[in-house]
Every structure is written in structure tokens, then in C-alpha cells.
Amino acid sequence: MKKVVKFGGSSLASAEQFRKVGEIIHAEKERRYVVPSAPGKRYSGDTKVTDMLYDCYNSASANGDISGKIKAIQARYQEIIDGLGLELSLDEQFAEIKEKFEEGVGSDYAASRGEFLNGIVMAAYLGYEFVDAAEVIRFDEDGVFDSETTNDLMRARLETAECAVIPGFYGAMPDGSIKTFSRGGSDITGSIVARAVHADLYENWTDVSGFLVTDPHIVPNPETIETITYRELRELSYMGATVLHADAIFPLRQEGIPINIKNTNRPQDPGTLIVESTCRQPKFTITGVAGKKGFCAINIEKDQMNSEIGFGRKVLQVFEENGISFEHVPSGIDTFTVIVHQSEFMEKEQRVISGLHRAVHPDTLDLESDLALIAVVGRGMRAQRGTAARIFAALSHAHINVKMIDQGSSELNIIIGVRNEDFENAVKAIYDIFVLTHL
């Protein structure tokens, strides 16, 4: 059995955290491939190493003296090295980093050094082989991740490595220059490694014990999701639930590799298992509740619109021409509503309105602003009668007016629109009716 394990920045912020990680890795010999992030915050108010590197590079770009900033970054690593009792020097690496910063090598290179250096420390601590991600992760000439070339390079390189540390977050362009993924991209590296080695499991270790049923800032101490499918995760992530980088899902889904979200500080917790499909029944009817504020609805009414061929295309084409993507399009026989991000829409609203009048000649057209969308997601909803009725009863009991309802044919999720000011109470009401009443 092969496991790929990725550890986030909070899991590697200090020597104490490194020791926890070492115990976790050595507890199971199957944990053969390790993907580290850069050191995160050691305490509230601390600075992440990646932010220190950005700051240092910006100073170098402004022709400032960066000697002090380089020393401060090196001190963070030296603290970990000394705390672990390692005989390891990073002087050579930091001399090269200082030189390249002063040459203006690029901010991607600067940001990547946090993971690069942490990978060297991790490999020395574990006694694993160090594999520079720049050797095995490729982007094309346009800076787009080249998944197939990367898969071939990674697979060939790791076939000869029984146990290895591969730093997260970055790879290389065809000319060898460093290119990073978006922030949080170490999750993506972990999934790339898992795909290449045909891992049986990808463990993503962080500072929470898995995905929560809803936002803990809204509902105190919400339940943890035991098992979630990729499709459910996609729905919840899109609506704001974040523990895992969204782009990390696709390489694993291609191979059917499950992901286990685990807590470095509570390794005994089972965490959340993310799978392609499962026979396991969810603990509750719903898997999760997530949402976002800041939407608006453009409501179009026109008699006989259902018999007007191309009506929907004409409406959406107006939004496309104005560079606005839509979120949902609930409709009736004579009504058609387009839900969009309010911040994107506001500066172009009059152009869109006039464009709609020219394109479809509506009888009436009105706007409704300051809406929040809530996604109630769960594979268990398919087999359960009356799910929608329970949602709306809970919202009614909480004196919340529902502005919009949208449900896909998969019965995997129900999208509800409410006013921004009702958002938190709506989430609480839905959580209460499906979770608290069943505990």
C-alpha cells in the first residue's frame, strides 16, 4: 500500500510541529511520499515564511538592502533545524536565494523557496530522498500546468525512490524558470504525486479534523463530515467551504484515489474521507451547508417567452458580451431570472439592461440586490422524502423569506436565495433542522 501525505504550513511552523509530523509519518510505513508546505504561523500575529519571502523580494526589487530580511527568514529555518538536533546547513541555499533576489529572478521563484527549503529540512529529518519539484512538475510556454508531461516525469523519478520528500506549490517552465500554482497550491502538488505513484490514499494533514457540516463562524462547533463524494465537495467548495484547494481534486478524481483530510494536532481523529462514490450512508440527510453573500437577481418577464425559440440564449449572450458570468438561471413559463455576483454587475448594469431590452424586448425587467445564496448539499437527499419541505419549514419558523429556489435534476443540492441580512440565521436554521434534531 502507498500513501502520499501532504502537510500544511501550520503543521510545519516549528520544531515541535515537525516532531508531530515525523511521528505521524513513521507510524505507518505506507506513508512513503511527503509533500510539505512552507512554515506557517507559530502563533497569532506571527508571519508566514511565504509572506516574509514576498516582502524580501519586493525590497530587493526596489533596490533595498535585504541582508536583514534574509537573515530573519534563515533564522526561522535555523530554529527548526536546531530544535530537531539536525546537522544541516542552509547557508549555501540562502546565499543563492539572496543573489537571485537581487538579480530580479521573479516573484514565483521567491514564493517557492519556502517549500523548497522546508523540503530539504523535512528530507534530512525523515531520512528520505529529496526531489526538487522543479525537476518533476512542468508548466507549458503559457504558464498552464502540463499534467501529462508532469505525470510521466514524476512517475519515472519516483519509481527509483522508495521514500521521498517533494516540496509543494511550484514547478518549472520549459526554460527551467520557477512557476508556482495559486496560493495554497501545495494541495495540488500532493494530488499530482498521488496520481503519479498510483497511491492508495492521499492524506492531507492540516489544523482541522476534516470538513465541517457548516461554517464554524456561524454555527459553534459544527459536526464533522465523515465521508463526502467529490461531487458534493465540489458543490460545497464552490459556495465557499474551503479546506482543500479546489484544483487538487481533479488529478485524484481521474484515478479514483480517495483523500483523507486529517488533523496534525489530533491524529487520532478519523477526519473526512473524500471519495468518488460510496455505499456509506451519510450520518445526516444533508452532507453540508455553505453559502456566500453579494449576489443580485435580474428578473425578466415576458408573455409567451416559453414559445420564443432562443430566448434564453439571447438573454445569456448579453451577459457574455459584458463579461459577466452567471451563477443560476431559475425560470418559469413567462419569467427568466439570472443570478450574478453583484460586484461584477454593478458597474455594467445599465449596459446590461439596455442590452436585454434590445435582445428580448421584455414586458418588465427589475433588479433585486443584496442577496445571499445557500447550497444545501447531500447525496442522502435523494432517498429522503420531504427534504425541501423541511428546509422551507425551518426558514419559515426563523421568519426568513426565501427569494429564490433552484434544484438540479441530480437531487444532490438545493440552492436557496435569501437576503444578505438573513444569511447567518438561515444557515443556522437549516443546520438545526437536519443536524441538531438528529443528535
Q: State the pLDDT at residue 234.
A: 81
Residues 6+ apart with CB under 8 A from 325: 319, 340, 341, 344
- What's the pLDDT at 204? 93
Tell me the CA distances in angstroms from 123 to 4, 13, 118, 145, 300, one per residue in order: 14, 16, 8, 26, 60
Is residue 388 over pLDDT 90? no
Report residue 71: phi and psi, to 5°.
-60, -40
409 pLDDT higher than 70: no
3-state secondary structure labels for all residues of the chain: CCEEEEECHHHHCCHHHHHHHHHHHHHCCCEEEEEECCCCCCCCCCCCHHHHHHHHHHHHHCCCCCHHHHHHHHHHHHHHHHHHCCCCCCHHHHHHHHHHHHHCCCHHHHHHHHHHHHHHHHHHHHCCEECCHHHHCEECCCCCECHHHHHHHHHHHHCCCCCEECCCCEEECCCCCEEECCCCCHHHHHHHHHHHCCCCEEEEEECCCCCECCCCCCCCCCCECCEEEHHHHHHHHHCCCCCCCHHHHHHHHHHCCCEEEEECCCCCCCCEEEECCCCCCCCCCCCEEEEEEEEEEEEEECCCHHHCCCHHHHHHHHHHHCCCCEEECCECCCEEEEEEEHHHHHCCHHHHHHHHHHHHCCCEEEEEEEEEEEEEECHHHCCCCCHHHHHHHHHHHCCCCCCEEEECCCCCEEEEEEEHHHHHHHHHHHHHHHCHHHC
pLDDT of residue 245: 72
Nearest to 32 by CA among 12, 3, 7, 9: 3
d(Cα 252, Cα 230) in Å, to the nearest integer?
A: 10
Does the pLDDT of residue 153 top 90, yes or no? yes
Residue 43 has which C-alpha cell?
Answer: 502563533
Q: Which of 4-13, 214-223, 377-386 bottoms out in mean pLDDT, i.e. has the lowest?
A: 377-386
Which has more confidence, 282 or 189? 189
- Residue 165 binned pLDDT confidence (cut-offs 50, 70, 90): very high
Top pLDDT among 204 and 245 is at 204
Separation CA 220–CA 287 (nearest Å): 17
| Side-chain half-sphere CA neighbours of 348 within 13 A | 19
Orientation of helix 186-196 relative to helix 147-158, angle to 10°: 60
Q: pLDDT of 60-102, one tens digit each?
A: 999 999 999 999 999 999 999 999 999 999 999 999 999 999 9
C-alpha–C-alpha distance, residues 74 and 88, integer Å: 12
pLDDT tier at 241, thresholds 50, 70, 90: low
> Can you tell me the distance from the alpha carbon of 341 to that of 84, in angstroms, rounded to the nearest whole number?
49
Nearest to 165 by CA among 202, 135, 124, 198: 124
Mean pLDDT of 274-291: 88
pTM for this prediction: 0.84
pLDDT exceeds cutoff 80 at 378: yes
Query: Which pLDDT score, from 0 to 100, does residue 410 have?
Result: 66
- Neighbouring C-beta atoms of residue 360, cutoff 10 Å: 21
Average pLDDT over residues 356-385: 92
